[in-house]
Each structure stands twice: as structure tokens, then as C-alpha cells.
Chains A and B, each alone.
Chain A
Amino acid sequence: MSNTLFKILVAVTLIFVVVFFAVPLLSIVVKSFFTSEGVSIKSYIDFFKDGTSRHAFYRSLKLGMAVMAISLILSYPSAIAINTINNQTIKSFLMTLIVLPIMTNPVARTFSWLAVIGRNGFINNFLVYLGFHRVRILYTETAVFIGLLQLFTPLMLLSLVSAFENLDKEVILAAQSLGAGKFMTFLKIQLPLTLDGAIMGSLLVFSGSVSAYVTPALLGGSKILMLSTLLYQKASVVLDWDAAITIAVIMILLIFGVNSLVKVILKEVSY
């Protein structure tokens, strides 16, 4: 059988991924639990003892949660509004605009914000025009939050738009014919039926925010560090490889931890 050829091709891909990805990844995970004296979690203790590292950890967690929450708040009403648009041309144009931030080069996307929140940007020049003082937004946590929100709201919106598309229109009509108002219909019908999409979207947004590099690097500068920017600083500026590896493993554990936690909770709830 020439199916053998296919088996060889599949094997080639698997070997490629294992050799060049799984093994390098596993080796840094293993290495992070070893010191010269043997198995130890010393590098993790050092990480949490260090103020800068601890701050970066909490900041990643905090910004991940905040971006997730605000993108949910923006996306629910937006997804409902998009779903009520009947004109296909307008709808697909809006969808194009929504995916544009994820598809755009991250440096170009992030640089755009400098013209908005920078010293001579739109917001500051507007404030000066109105007679106020300039405010410092660039290189603050707010700037990083804004950048991450722009980058990850599309993911939430896409999850929710497709959740609403899969929702039977008759169910809503039924609720309304039984006397439910717009808000009650949302609370009792639309919200529970789109919850899966919202949770999927939330996980994507949280994981993405914790992983993102360009946004915190360009909008947060060297002071507002997240785990990803701290990792790069350790690896290439300070040349402390062991610390960089520890941060890398903490990032993996944080993301996989939150993802599996949510999945376990979902399983419990649905029984």
C-alpha cells in the first residue's frame, strides 16, 4: 500500500515538532527545577522573593483579568448589535474592521497608539487645546492596558458573534411573545446560551494578555514590566538565563493553570 508514504510524511512532521519544539520546551521546564545541587525549587522561591519579579507576576495577572473583564463588557452589547444588522455588506465590512487589529503587524498596531497617547499625541494636544495640562499616559500601566484591550477585544467579539449566530432566533421570539422585555430576554435566554462562547473568549483574552510581548514592551517601557518583558530583560539584557527560564515556566504554568481550572469548574457545573 502506498499509504506507507503518508505514514512517513506524518512521522516526519511529528519528529520535526518533537525535536525542534517539544524537546527544547521540556528541557527548559526540567532545567528550571534543577540547581547545581540537584532537584530544587530554589529558582521559584528566588523569583517570588524578588520585588520586581513579583510585581511583574501580579501585573500580568491583573492586566489579564482587567482586559478580559472590559473586553467582555464591550463585546456583549457589540455582538448583539452586530447580530441585528441585516445588511450583509455592512456586517462583513464591520467584521473586517474588527479583525484588522489582530491581523496587523504588532509593531505598526502598537506604534499607532503613540500618536494617540504620546506627549504630542491626540489626547494631550486636545487637552492643551481645552486649556488643561498634559497627562502622562505613555509608559504607564494604563497605556499597556489600552494596547492589550485593542489587541484582544477582537477575539472576544469573534467568539461572541459566532455564539449569537448559533443561537436560535425563535427562542428569543418565544421569550418576547411570552412577555419578556429586552433585558429579561438577555439575562434569562441570551446570556446563558452564549456563556460557552464568553468563557472561550475570556480564556483566549487572558492567555493572550499574559503572553503578549510587543504591547507591554512599547507602551510600558522598561519600568512597567510584565512577565514577558521581564523574561526578555533577563535573557538578553541581564543575561541571567536561569531566571529567564524560570519566568518562562511560570508563564506556562499560569496560562495552563487558569485554562484547566476553568475547564474543571465547567465540568463540575454542567453535571
Chain B
Amino acid sequence: MSKFIMILTITFLVGPFLIIFLASFGENPSLEFPPKGFTLHWYNKVLSMPMFMDSLKLSVFLAIGASLLGLILGVPVAYALVRWDFKGKPVVEFLTSLPVAVPGMVAGLALLKFFVLMGTFSIESTLLIGHTLIVLPYSVRIVKGSLMNLPEEVELAAQSLGANPIKTFFLIILPLIKTSLIAAFILMFIISFNNVPISLFLSGPGITTLPIVMMSYMEYYYDPTIAALSTLLIAVTLIVVLGMQKILGFSKFL
């Protein structure tokens, strides 16, 4: 009985992905399942449309930038939270986890109001700031978890041999938590790449991320172009998740 429900649940979770995969090869210019005929036309169309390719480029650059900034800003906080004893710890913890606790649409609205008021930021930099904020909590959480498993003796040993704290940090600690840094980077990349609410509010004319372009395309067209693009995105996600699990194990990134 419980096995039956499990199979049912997992079918419900991933069944639509299989169906959109099959539907993306249909010849009919309107989305249907089961599809009629077989064509790669929609895949060709996606890959040759500048509107998708430009926004893909922006999404990838944005995700890389936000994830790197997320690590640069997050790692010192994670280190301080694990190794130091100070009064404001709960405040630091609260502030750095706040962006993930607030609904994305609320965060997007608040940021837009703020940047409109400021007026001096370019669209690219507001997008980068917004995306960095929403990925930051994940870098703090993952790196904190792996630092907690790292015995403090390692640092003390390095320092007793004459390494200063900076040297210890870069030559000893960072290499030891390398896997978590990679896991955090990949997770942050996925979260930024997939983000809709922040980009929805902060995008501007001609400077739009892929998910937003997909949504506006869907408002006007109902052909399998988005099915082809969705299939590509789902396939890449599956490969990334399988790879992460193989290399890092699940406990590392969830």
C-alpha cells in the first residue's frame, strides 16, 4: 500500500516532465499531447531566437556573479558564526537568513521601490544585488554546516606552526571545505538562474532574464517552442542534480 502511494506520488512529481518532453517533438503549432508527427523544429527555433539566447546569457552571467558574491559575502559570516562567540550572533543569523524567509514577491517589490527611490543604479547592478541577496542565506547555511564539522585543532595546529589567521584561512580552511563551497555555488547558481520574483520587478527593457522572457512569450504564443526550451532546462537540471548527488551526496546540499 505505501509502496503504491510512493509510486503514485513520484509519478505525479515527474510525470509532467516526461509528457512535455514528448510533446516538444509534435508537429502541430499548438501544444498537444499525445503529439502528432515528429520534428526538431521547435528546438531549432529556440536556439535561433535572439530573445531566448540573449536572456539565457544574462541569466547565466547573473547566476555566476550572484553566486560568487554570495560566497565572498557568506563565507566570513559563516566562519564568524561557527568560531566566534559574540553578543550579536542571533542578529547576524537573523539578518543573513532574512532574504529566504520573506516571500520573493514581497522582496521584489521592496527592492524595486528602494531602487526607484535611489535612482542611480543600472538595471544590471540592481539585478545583481537582488540575486546576491536571495542566494546569500544558502551560502551561509551550507558553509556553516561544513565548518561545524571541521575540528578547531586544525586551525590551532596551523597557527602554532606560525601561520597567521589569513594564511590559515586560505591555505588550510578553504581547501578543507572545498566540496561545500562547490555545493553551495551550484545550489546558488540554480536558485539565481530559476528566480522569477526578483527579476520580474527589477528587469528592464532589453535586460531580462530567461524565465521572465519565457513567461512573456507564453502570454502571446501557445506553440511548443516553450516545450522544447522547458525540456532542455529540465534535462540540464536532471544532469546537474544527478551529478551533485553522485559527487557530494544529498546531505551536502539540501
Contacts and interface: CB of A to CB of B under 8 A. Distances in A.
Contacts of A114: 31
B111 interface: yes
A14 interface: yes
Interface string A138-178: 00000000000110011001100000000000000000000
A255 to B, nearest CB: 7
A153 B15 CA distance: 14
Contact of A17 (B13, B30, B33, B133): B133
Contact of A77 (B5, B15, B111, B229): B5
Interface stretch (B72-80, B141-149, B177-185): B72-80
B105 A251 contact: yes
A75 B105 CA distance: 28
A75 B96 contact: no
B31 A13 contact: no
Contact of B5 (A74, A241, A252): A74
A247 to B, nearest CB: 9
A103 interface: yes
B215 A21 contact: no
Instruction: Name the prevailing secondary structure of the B interface residues.
Output: helix
B33 A25 contact: no
Contact of A115 (B33, B105, B114, B242): B33
Nearest to B2: A77
B12 A150 contact: yes
A21 B98 contact: yes
Contact of B30 (A9, A120, A153): A120
Contacts of B92: 10, 14
Interface residues of B, number: 80
A100 B13 contact: yes
Interface in A220-250: 228, 231-232, 235, 241, 244-245, 248
B77 A105 contact: no
A125 B103 contact: no
B241 A115 contact: no
Interface in A77-92: 77-78, 80-82, 92
Contact of A105 (B1, B165, B233): B233
Given A96-B242, A231-B105, A231-B109, A13 B14 contact: no
Interface string A57-87: 0000000000000000011011011100000
Interface string A1-45: 111011101101110111011111101100000000000000000
Given A13-B77, A28-B113, A228-B103, A125 B230 contact: no
Given A2-B166, A10-B77, A107 B107 contact: no
Interface in B111-170: 111-114, 129, 132-133, 136, 164-166, 169
A215 to B, nearest CB: 10
Contact of B9 (A75, A109, A211): A75
Interface residues of A, number: 80
Contacts of A81: 2-3, 5-6
Question: Of residues B2, B8, B77, B102, which shows the largest number of chain A Cβ atoms within 10 Å of its Cβ?
Answer: B2
**Quick one: which of A14, A20, A217 has the most chain B CB within 10 A?**
A20
Interface of A: 1-3, 5-7, 9-10, 12-14, 16-18, 20-25, 27-28, 74-75, 77-78, 80-82, 92, 94-101, 103-109, 111-116, 118, 120-122, 125, 149-150, 153-154, 157-158, 207, 210-211, 213-214, 217-218, 228, 231-232, 235, 241, 244-245, 248, 251-252, 255
21 contacts: A6-B80, A10-B92, A12-B73, A18-B95, A20-B111, A21-B111, A75-B9, A78-B9, A92-B245, A103-B190, A104-B237, A105-B210, A105-B211, A112-B230, A121-B31, A213-B104, A213-B196, A228-B103, A231-B106, A244-B109, A251-B106
Interface of B: 1-3, 5-6, 8-10, 12-17, 19-20, 23, 30-34, 73-74, 76-77, 79-80, 92, 95-96, 98-99, 102-107, 109-114, 129, 132-133, 136, 164-166, 169, 190, 193-194, 196-197, 200-201, 210-211, 214-215, 218, 226-227, 229-231, 233-234, 237-238, 240-242, 245, 250, 254
